[in-house]
Amino acid sequence: MADISDALKKGDYSNVAHLVSEFDNSTLQHIVDEENVLLKLFIDAYGREGADDAIKVFHQHRTMHMLADTISKTALTSPKELGSMPGDFEKLVRSHFEAEEQRIFPWALKTHFQQLR
């Protein structure tokens, strides 16, 4: 995220596009793993309603992907139209990772160990 901010400050929009695209691509496996493993764990244990918090957090993956794609394309074609998109993206990513680390991952561990009993 710091590299993206630096590239934006320098007006290096082709690098912004590259870095955002790279970030998006590097998170794809993370998304697949979480949605296939953790979401299944929550739905199996609590049903769709009980897994609602996890579902909402995992839906942010799609939003992050779409925003990353928009930023990457806009940075290459009309960088002056980026506006608050990079800042919005950074806030979303930080908020998402915080939700995972503070709520979702501990909940997954607790659920997993409860199922082992």
Express each pLDDT in 9-42 by its tens digit: 898 989 888 988 888 788 877 788 888 899 999 9
Closest CA to 12 of 69, 76, 65: 76
pLDDT in tens, 89-101: 999 999 999 999 9
Count of domains forming the chain: 1
Q: What was the pLDDT predicted at 36?
A: 87
- The Cα 24–Cα 29 span in angstroms is 10
Residue 65 CB partners (closer than 8 Å, separation 6+): 24, 27, 31
- The Cα 21–Cα 73 span in angstroms is 9
- The Cα 19–Cα 37 span in angstroms is 28
Q: Average pLDDT of the chain?
A: 91
- The Cα 70–Cα 92 span in angstroms is 14
In angstroms and rounded to an integer, the radius of gyration of the C-alpha atoms of the chain is 17
Tokens for 51, please give them. 């897994």
What's 26's DSSP letter?
H
Show the domain range for 64: 2-116
